[in-house]
Chains A and B, each alone.
Chain A
């Protein structure tokens, strides 16, 4: 251990040590801030109470998930997500339209399918919407 330390001291100039510490500090700070608030829009799809899919909102796509009464189809486009097909009778989930704000989501209660935008998305100044 002492030998290793001596080697490291020999191998680096004072400026080196500053550079190395600064580099690691910067990179660690970046990692910490990114992993407590991930960048890039993402949505999570839940059936019942567990997560079944994670959707990258940066990639246009259509996915189908199995809900309690049937398959539900979701569409991702331009950083937003919505229901396009649902086996429920009221289709209220589809009428909820595009979701893109962080924390926003749409849910089909009879089919027990929910999609919510996590991380990224346009930031909002609130934790939930009352309606």
Chain B
């Protein structure tokens, strides 16, 4: 799949561009997994609300390399982290997967918006809300078939809005940092 960033001056052969992209992917996924593990190791400040640091990488990947890259990074992160943490196929894994899929769907919808559209902050907030929405749905469908579960929604929603906002700003910084390597990156933060 062609990268969304076509090499500008100095054309590179397609194979090299692909290799560069795959290297980025692997590195991004590793970075995301590392952030996820770090977060898992730290005690939660508020139970049930995690900063979701690894999402910063996904959003940055989306802005720099497009949705499919972000999807691969997200899903790899969920899978690898579960393996490393020993939670593969456990309830926690399914919740994580459900949240990631929902977030990706939201990001895809966001990316389809016409015009200049969303930047890292907007994507991050939208993805964060979709993430906890997806997790609540998975939890309800698979584990807790009581509507009482959704009592948590308001608190989780506020947490998601907050973490989404802050993660978004972090993603913006990350993109700006990486953007110097990719002048064709498709994010143009508001002037």
Contacts and interface: CB of A to CB of B under 8 A. Distances in A.
Nearest to B117: A15
A35 B173 CA distance: 36
Chain B contact residues: over half helix, strand or loop, or mixed? helix
Interface in A26-65: 26-28, 30-31, 34-35, 38-41, 56-59
A19 interface: yes
Contacts of B147: 39-40, 58
Contact of A23 (B119, B129, B188): B129
A56 B121 contact: no
Contacts of A26: 129, 157
Contact of B150 (A10, A23, A40, A59): A40
B161 interface: yes
Contacts of B113: 15
A125 B155 CA distance: 28
Given A41-B148, A56-B148, A31 B119 contact: no
Interface stretch (B20-28, B35-43, B48-56, B164-172): B164-172
A19 B126 contact: yes
B125 interface: yes
Nearest to B191: A10
Interface residues of A, number: 31
Nearest to A16: B122
Interface in B126-183: 126, 129, 146-148, 150-151, 153-155, 157-158, 160-161, 164-165, 168-169, 172-173
A27 B173 CA distance: 25
B157 A40 contact: no
Interface of A: 8-20, 23-24, 26-28, 30-31, 34-35, 38-41, 56-59, 120
Given A19-B126, A120-B148, 14 more contacts: A11-B169, A11-B173, A12-B119, A12-B122, A13-B117, A14-B190, A15-B119, A16-B118, A20-B122, A26-B129, A27-B157, A27-B161, A40-B151, A59-B148
